[in-house]
Structure 1
Amino acid sequence: MLNLSVRNETSTLRAVLLGTAQRNGPTPKAEEAYDPKSLEHILAGTYPSESDMCEEMRRFEEVLKRYGVTVYRPEIIADLNQIFSRDIGFVIDDYLIKANILPDRAEEWQAISPVVNQIHPAKRIIPPSEVHIEGGDVLLWNDYIFVGTYKGADYADINTARTNMLGVHFLRETFPHKIVKEFDLVKSMTDARRNALHLDCCFQPVGKNKAIIHQAGFRNPDDYRYLRDLFGEENLFHIDAEEMYQMCSNIFSISEDVVVSEQHFTRLNNWLREQDVIVEEIPYQEIGKQEGLLRCSTLPLYRD
């Protein structure tokens, strides 16, 4: 059996499921885009090539293995985008929760079944169908579960709204010993600089007590103030709309002292080094054209 343990975003990583860009399929049509940034690049003719994305993921895997992390990969299904494994499942404590994702992406779960089947059935949780939740909206910080959602009356019409309040309530019922705090996120189907696709697109804890945050990603100013007061303003690295667009909050922690970050995030990477964090810089800009980055590509299975 495969043991699970994830209680925060930054403890030392031992095992992770990393997505794959192999046999990713042709460039989607505009009407097939799930998010405004992908649509932007489809229309501009700058959508990333499979070869470029495979090379970026190879570099990511190389760093993970250099730090002794066991890396699992999905089975490859032809013409299926399997890069963003965070969307399809996530671990809280020692349970794997299956995400209720967009129906068009259901095959991605089947592709990780060889890994899922190694987990004891009692440690697998499948939410009811009316519960919408994706792993990018769920961030762990010890006693806290932070959950991105969208509370607008037009939730059903917004393709970029991925986690509903039933998802928040489900986590509260499933993990009653945790503090589950939801955050109402800004959503847009047309403007990627005004679209927090998931919570990890505008916020993420790093190191021991720091966090990256985009204040304008929260519809309710009280949600931003909650995190500011919890972490302390001096421990927050604020990113602007352009940096959110480039996915600056979507780096990935191997431990409290080591992060993997995109090589063009100069301001962020310099700040992290000032916090005594080792920054492993890799190219990941092409994958970022799909409004997802390093955290989105991973499903951590075990952290110390």
Structure 2
Amino acid sequence: MLDLNIKDETSKLKAVILGTAKSCGPTPKPEEAYDPKSLEHILAETYPVEADMILEMDAFEHVLKKHDVQVFRPKILKDCNQIFSRDIAFVIDDFFFKANILPDREEEYLAIGDVISQIDPAKVIQLPEEAHIEGGDVMPWNDYIFIGTYTAENYSHHITARTNKIAVEHITELFPHKTVKAFELRKSTNARENALHLDCCFQPIGKDKAILHKNGFLIEEEYQWLLDYFGKENVFEVTSDEMYNMFSNVFSISQEVIVSEKNFTRLNTWLREKGFTVEEIPYAEISKQEGLLRCSTMPLIRE
């Protein structure tokens, strides 16, 4: 059995599900795009090809294994994009949550059945259908659970709105000993304005630091709360271009080791100045689908 344990974003990683780019199917039609950035690349005919994305994910797996992480991969489905395993499930403490995802992604969840079968069934939770939530919006951080959400009345009109108020309320009830803090995210059909998930504009790193992008938050006080909580000197502020390139979507193997995209020069320099070990890999092709390193992983066990 897998003894799940996720209390934060950065403790030493022991086991993770890493998505797969194999058999991810042809380039989608414009009307099939789930997010504005994918749409942009479909229209520009620069959408990533499978072979390049497989190489990027292999580089990621190599780094994880180098740091003694147990890596699970989904069963490969024909012509199905299974890169972003963070969307389909997430772990808080020792509970495994099935994300209430877009209906046509249901088979992605079934493809990690081998992993789910190793988890105590009493610890596998599915929220009610009306509670929409995806793992990219959920960040356990010690006594807090940070959740990205969108509660405006036009929620249902935004395909980029993935986590709703009902889901936040359910998580709050399930973890009475923790403080659930929700952040309203900016949703847009313009890829340079859209924060698809919380991890597109914020991520805690190390013991007390964070990567943050102000414009990803609809409410300035909520952004300010994070800035005050971590302290300005501990925060890497991301520009709008850097947010578009997914700078906040790196991945922590431990409090000291961070996997980052090799082109993130300004960020990677800052991380090294702060004492982190930065494992640089190529991931620019996958980023064209508005997801990066954190989105491709679903941590199961941290120390």
Question: What corresponds to 1:80 in structure 2?
Answer: 80
Question: What corresponds to 1:100 in structure 2?
Answer: 100
For 1:192 and 1:139, the matched residues in 2 are separated by: 23
Question: What corresponds to 2:199 in structure 1?
Answer: 200
Question: What corresponds to 1:175 in structure 2?
Answer: 175
- Return 5+ residue gaps in structure 2 as ranges: none
Question: What corresponds to 2:62 in structure 1?
Answer: 62
- Which amino acid in 1 is paired with 2:204? P
Question: What corresponds to 2:159 in structure 1?
Answer: 159
For 1:8 and 1:2, the matched residues in 2 are separated by: 18
Residues 51-75 of structure 1, C-alpha deviations (whole Å, 9 max, x = no match): 0000000000000000000000000
For 1:214 and 1:152, the matched residues in 2 are separated by: 21
Pairing of 1:110-125 with structure 2 (within 5 A): 110-125=110-125
| Residue 268 (structure 1) shift | 0.3
Pairing of 1:1-304 with structure 2 (within 5 A): 1-189=1-189, 191-304=190-303
Residues 101-157 of structure 1, C-alpha deviations (whole Å, 9 max, x = no match): 011111110000110011000111110000000000001110100000012211000
| Residue 278 (structure 1) shift | 0.2
| Residue 40 (structure 1) shift | 0.2
| Residue 208 (structure 1) shift | 1.1
| Residue 233 (structure 1) shift | 1.2
- Which amino acid in 2 is paired with 1:113? G
For 2:231 and 2:144, the matched residues in 1 are separated by: 16
For 1:258 and 1:120, the matched residues in 2 are separated by: 30
2:162 counterpart SS class: coil
- Which amino acid in 1 is paired with 2:284? Q
For 2:13 and 2:143, the matched residues in 1 are separated by: 18
For 2:119 and 2:38, the matched residues in 1 are separated by: 34
Residues 153-180 of structure 1, C-alpha deviations (whole Å, 9 max, x = no match): 1100000000000011010011111100
1:192 counterpart SS class: coil
- Which amino acid in 2 is paired with 1:41? H
Residues 8-45 of structure 1, C-alpha deviations (whole Å, 9 max, x = no match): 00000000000000000000000000000000000000
For 2:140 and 2:57, the matched residues in 1 are separated by: 24
1:8 counterpart SS class: coil
**Scaled by the length of structure 2, what TM-score is found?**
0.99
Q: Percent identity among equivalent residues?
A: 63
For 1:87 and 1:224, the matched residues in 2 are separated by: 23
For 1:34 and 1:9, the matched residues in 2 are separated by: 26
2:192 counterpart SS class: helix
1:106 counterpart SS class: helix
For 1:208 and 1:276, the matched residues in 2 are separated by: 12
| Residue 229 (structure 1) shift | 1.3
| Residue 247 (structure 1) shift | 0.3
| Residue 200 (structure 1) shift | 0.2
Runs of 4+ in 1 over 4 A off after TM superposition: none
For 2:268 and 2:253, the matched residues in 1 are separated by: 15
- Which amino acid in 2 is paired with 1:247? M
For 2:201 and 2:167, the matched residues in 1 are separated by: 19
1:43 counterpart SS class: helix
For 2:112 and 2:99, the matched residues in 1 are separated by: 13
